[in-house]
Structure 1
Amino acid sequence: MTDPRPLVLHLVDDATPGGVTRVLDQIRSCTLMARDARHEVRPVSRKGGLPRVQADLIVSHLAISWRSLPALISFRARHSGTPLVHVEHSYTEGFTALNVPFKARFFTLLRTAYALFDRVVAVSAPQANWLARRGLVRSDVLQVITPVVDLSAFRALNTPQGPALRIGAIGRLHRQKGFDTLIDAVRSLPQREISLHIHGTGEEEAALKARAAGDPRIVFHGHSEDPAAVMSHLDIVAMPSRWEAFGLVALEARAAGRPIVASGVDGLSQSAGPQALIVSTPSAEAWAAALSARLKRGSTPGAMDRCATAEREFAAAWGQLLADLAAPQELHIAA
């Protein structure tokens, strides 16, 4: 019997472990999302053109660049009758400020690329506000869907009690994450009983280890396949990112009942939640002061929401997007 559900095809050009891959795993495996559609993920190469595909809705999780723009224009032309959506996982106000020297040219690229899509999905409200304020996306095309992963294992963790001693930093070892600032901050703290646990790998690993200068309180654990197990050993989660479209680690920390100290840039101000301690100045001194204040308060984060409805809200948002863009009479659904 033919499956009557519409087919949603997600195109991705980055298969490395990380937030995008984990969100796509959630889309593909979520039973709530499976009620509305069949979701399939298709890896594609960043080199050359994009393949011709058959689907009722096509979703791009691709990296937009001048090099990829001709392929994207060609892809749009070859799929003119199919609703096309782009999810912007990367570009933010913070990213642009720190990494884009020729902003007018960059904004031209984004306006041109986004105009090819029937809908552009921002992963946080701050990111969407920036896209709208810069005139990069028309308001009637822009939508916010905050990403999520399966949070059940994090909600199952017991809330830490007593003194806060173990600070965690989780993510790719890249300049973006600001772990250099965090290391400097921890090294300046006088408490010998505290420790900083850094989980992740990346190109900055050697430089960060050198920056730790043999401080026995700073431990590098590498990559872990079990994020919930990592979270279970932490009392506080620190996120000193320089830019961050959303921040899944913050969502996981909230679900686990862990206090968060975060930079609050871009979408991190949303994902960290109202109970997070926000550090507005990106300096080691400001981070040391914030960590000291948080450590004195102990492990309990205060009022906890545990992100109880995050998965349902995510599935509902995608279901609504599908309903908006692909009305039943337009879908290639077998009777």
Structure 2
Amino acid sequence: MPCDLRRRVPESVVHLVQPVDGGVARVVIDLVRAQTRAGMRVVIACPPGGELPRAAAAAGAEVRVWLAERGPGPNLPWEAAYAGRLLRRAGPEVVHLHSSKAGLAGRLALRGRMPTVFQPHAWSFEALTGPAARLAAAWERRAARWAGRVLCVSEAERARGEAAGLSARWSVIPNGVDLERYPEADGVARRGARAALATVHGLPQRAPLVVCVGRLTRQKGQDVLLRAWPRVAARVPGARLALVGDGPERPGLGAVAGPDVLLAGHTEDAGPWYAAADAVVLPSRWEGMALAPLEAMAVGRPVVLTDVGGARETLPEGQAPHCLVPPGDPDALADALAALLLDPARRAALGRAAAAHARRSHDVRRTAAACLGLYAEMLAGRGGEEAGPRRPGGPEPVPDAREFSRP
């Protein structure tokens, strides 16, 4: 990396974030760790509670309270004004807006008056239907001009934005995972994790186990998984399903879950669940690029995903026929899961390939370094659409985040 780019890495950044838990929070926490190590002053502005404020402070960030509801509502004008005041007082060189709510309030507040990166983490209009979806897409088309870069986590996410009519300065940087936090788990680690879960949750140690990690929401599709599960259980006697996470859909899911389904609730560390699993599933209705499958792959577990967002880009080459199913199709989902549970040799091969792929293409250090490079390019006023790894040609080599540290 040329020396002049190293000198242009900003000294300060503010991340405006809502939500404060789940995959978005974990992405931001990883960025905070890398950016503070690179010598930057990092400020997190977010609502209180959740995982993000505590972990960001532990990583060395300044945490400032931004009172904002999760979705748009009548308080939006006040939330935007409050965000604007926070951002102006912090005085950063770069503002990084995460997810649709922060993107809405932050761009309304700044309107391009500060160097701004907007990262949707899945488009807001994908979560909506009818007039609401059209209104959200119209807003994104208008607000794209107020972002120095629109940062997508997959080529599919960018393509979806372009199809909705957005004209933006695009960058694509795939999500990454902390490989030290999610080491590959061998048979010994699996048995240890199963023993621990048997003690806490009563799961049979030798039962085939499918794990779904994600917030219990319509987006993540756990309702489709529960419709598929009886077909899996009929073909794989004794199989168990664990839904790891919490959210607004928990009461409804609990009402239809059978005795072979465990609603495990929220966890601060999903690593033991991945290690214990025979397969990991995420039947989402829409995504940018989900983090949980990448974490599971790093641990060495095969994943079954719905063909939405960046799912195809998540998987190693050649795994789509085994691991990708249409969204909202419980029969296809059941077939894919049952086939994996009944074929230990295939599971092992897919898991080994998944672990190698996660280390090769989704190391969070590469993601963080590419994000720092994006900031530097934006501040330097350099042209070009892409600042990060691209698909389908494969990721370009990205330097370690330490290469961006100032002397």
TM-score by length of 1: 0.84
1:263 corresponding residue in structure 2: 306
- 1:287 pairs with 2:333: yes
Give the Cα separation in 2 of the matches to 1:321 and 1:194. Answer: 46
Query: Percent identical across equivalent pairs?
Result: 28
Instruction: Please state whether the residue corresponding to 1:313 is helix, strand or coil.
Output: helix
- 1:326 pairs with 2:355: no
Segment drifting more, 273-282 vs 200-209: 273-282
Instruction: Please state whether the residue corresponding to 1:20 is helix, strand or coil.
Output: helix
1:194 corresponding residue in structure 2: 239
State which of 83, 89, 97 in structure 2 corresponds to 1:60. Answer: 97
Aligned residues: 312
Deviation at residue 306 of structure 1 after TM alignment: 4.9
Gaps of 5+ in 1: 329-333
- 1:45 pairs with 2:67: yes
Contact between 1:114 and 1:136, CA under 8 Å: does it hold in 2?
yes
Give the Cα separation in 1 of the matches to 2:99 and 2:280. Answer: 29
- One-letter amino acid of the structure 1 residue matched with residue 293 of structure 2: A
Residues 37 and 29 of structure 1: CA distance in aligned 2, closer, same or farther (over 3 Å):
same
Residues 194 and 311 of structure 1: CA distance in aligned 2, closer, same or farther (over 3 Å):
same
Give the Cα separation in 2 of the matches to 1:185 and 1:41. Answer: 40
Residues 288 and 62 of structure 1: CA distance in aligned 2, closer, same or farther (over 3 Å):
closer
Instruction: Please state whether the residue corresponding to 2:146 is helix, strand or coil.
Output: coil
Alpha-carbon displacement from aligned partner over 1:203-251 (angstroms, at most 9, x marks no partner)? 1112112112xx3221111111111122111110011111111110110
2:129 corresponding residue in structure 1: 100
Give the Cα separation in 1 of the matches to 2:23 and 2:260. Answer: 28
1:331 corresponding residue in structure 2: none
Residues 186 and 28 of structure 1: CA distance in aligned 2, closer, same or farther (over 3 Å):
same
State which of 26, 29, 39 in structure 2 corresponds to 1:25. Answer: 29
CA RMSD of aligned residues (A): 2.8
1:315 corresponding residue in structure 2: 368
Give the Cα separation in 2 of the matches to 1:281 and 1:172. Answer: 17
Alpha-carbon displacement from aligned partner over 1:45-88 (angstroms, at most 9, x marks no partner)? 3341122230111111152499x56x7334236xx2x3111111
TM-score by length of 2: 0.70
2:19 corresponding residue in structure 1: 14
Give the Cα separation in 2 of the matches to 1:75 and 1:153. Answer: 36
Instruction: Please state whether the residue corresponding to 2:16 is helix, strand or coil.
Output: strand
State which of 157, 161, 168 in structure 2 corresponds to 1:131. Answer: 161
Residues 74 and 217 of structure 1: CA distance in aligned 2, closer, same or farther (over 3 Å):
closer
- One-letter amino acid of the structure 2 residue matched with residue 150 of structure 1: D
Instruction: Please state whether the residue corresponding to 1:11 is helix, strand or coil.
Output: strand
Gaps of 5+ in 2: 1-8, 47-65, 69-74, 192-205, 382-405
Residues 8 and 281 of structure 1: CA distance in aligned 2, closer, same or farther (over 3 Å):
closer
Deviation at residue 36 of structure 1 after TM alignment: 6.7
